[in-house]
Chains A and B, each alone.
Chain A
Amino acid sequence: DQQVKQNSPSLSVQEGRISILNCDYTNSMFDYFLWYKKYPAEGPTFLISISSIKDKNEDGRFTVFLNKSAKHLSLHIVPSQPGDSAVYFCAAYSGTYKYIFGTGTRLKVLA
């Protein structure tokens, strides 16, 4: 049972344009969500998070949107840069010490 889903395994975006990565979840009890960026052969790096009491959180080029009614969150990267090319994971805190991760979306930013 995949509680956190990233349905797009890959995404290609032109440099300077917006990248939108999507994530859906099934458990309405999740109350904290995170996005991570991962390069090959490295550990994931924390990017940005959002509490369920908010619908938007912004940090520089990264903005996370949360739509609780749709159980959907998205990460917007504007403008996209070649260095943003990586695998992006969304995660939800389950409330019992555990973080549930999606399967990741590979973003490729084309120069």
Chain B
Amino acid sequence: SQTIHQWPATLVQPVGSPLSLECTVEGTSNPNLYWYRQAAGRGLQLLFYSVGIGQISSEVPQNLSASRPQDRQFILSSKKLLLSDSGFYLCAWSGWEKTDTQYFGPGTRLTVL
């Protein structure tokens, strides 16, 4: 069966510090990978998605970036965090068929102070 891992679970960072969140998927090959953010009281905002190694599509211009160094690894980064980057970050994966369900990781709570 497939599993998706995210770490860390919680993170408190000062404004201007760097960020690296990691997501890995097990039990599947060539998944589509996604990063979402849920701000307080808001819905799920798609940040990035990737359909293959080294391929990244950005949905929202911001100071965040994503990378996919391996087939089942997806990393969300920032060189300098802003207060507005606080939120709940979710990684998700889906198969390559269009009718595949998207499955989510446990999330990372990021607080920028």
Contacts and interface: CB of A to CB of B under 8 A. Distances in A.
Interface residues of B, number: 26
Interface centre among A91, A99, A101, A104, by most B CB within 10 Å?
Answer: A99
Nearest to A36: B104
Interface of A: 31-32, 34, 36, 41-46, 49, 51, 89, 91, 93, 95, 97-99, 101-104
Interface of B: 6, 32, 34, 36, 42-44, 46, 49, 51, 57, 59, 88, 90, 92, 94, 98-99, 101-107, 109
Contacts of B94: 97, 99
B101 A34 contact: yes
A46 B109 contact: no
A89 B45 CA distance: 12
A86 B36 CA distance: 19
Given A97-B49, A98-B49, A46 B101 contact: yes
Interface centre among A41, A45, A51, by most B CB within 10 Å?
Answer: A41
